[in-house]
Structure formats: C-alpha cells, structure tokens
Amino acid sequence: MKLLFDENVSPKLTGRLAGEYPGSTHVRDVGLRGGEDLEIWEYARTIGFVITSKDTDFRERSYVEGFPPKVIWLDVGNAGTDAIEHLLRAQRERVVPLKHAKRHPCSSCRSRQTQSEFARAPDAPVDREALLVMRGL
C-alpha cells in the first residue's frame, strides 16, 4: 500500500512509515509541491497511490470522482507528525483493505455533482471502499 502524503502533512512520515507503507512518498518528493489538487489526484491515479491528506478537498473529490485514486482523510485538526504517525500505524488494518477494493459496478452511472453541492451535503453517498476517514487521536 503506497501512500502519497499531501503538503499538509510532514514529509518525515515517508521515512517513519517505510516499514508499514513501503513505496510511499510525499508530494514534495515527486515535484508536486504547490501543485493543484487535480494534478495531485491524476498523479496518484496514474501511479497507484492512496492520497493521504488533512485537506477536505480530496475527500470531496472522492465523492464526485470515485476511485482510483483512493483517499485517506485525516480528520485530526492540528495534530502533529508524531500523532499522525501513531494513528497510521494503529489503523493499518483499516488501510490495507483499500488496496483490494474494486470499483462498484454502478459507480460510473452515479450522477455527477459539483464539489460545492457535496460541501453542503457532507453525508452524501460515497463508495466506502474509496475513502477512509481517520478521526481523533
């Protein structure tokens, strides 16, 4: 399971979690520092990464686009690197099944909505295999 860490989490996580998530990287290390969300999304889709971010934009995009790529949304407020590292280690058994999740046959027929519509409806239906929410510490 390869994670692509977004700018809002420390690049130190790549090294710290290399044993649990081999092949993971940070957007900074692949030339996407300051990149647009769509650019990061397409990179993760092409290479096979799971986007790991504290940013709700990727969560909302997963509602609209489905997957790939899959998304881990870290709903942890201002938690530091140590706390996020601990959370990703402790929740690894929830992360691993993302690797094997397949697109639901009806995902392509789902009606498209804009991100702003989803921003107003945070409980909108979502492919549960595409998005993993990690809350609290």
Contacts of 15 (CB under 8 A, 6+ apart): none
Helix (H) or strand (E) holding 17: none
How high is the pLDDT of residue 111?
38
How high is the pLDDT of residue 102?
63
Give Cα 101 distance to the centre of its chain. 14
Q: Are 69 and 41 within 8 A, CB to CB?
A: yes
* Full-model pTM: 0.79
How high is the pLDDT of residue 114?
36
Structure tokens at 16: 């710290």
- Compute φ and ψ for 113, nearest 5 degrees: -130, 155
How high is the pLDDT of residue 133?
87
For the chain, list residues with pLDDT below 70: 101-129, 136-137
CA gap 45, 111 in Å, rounded: 21
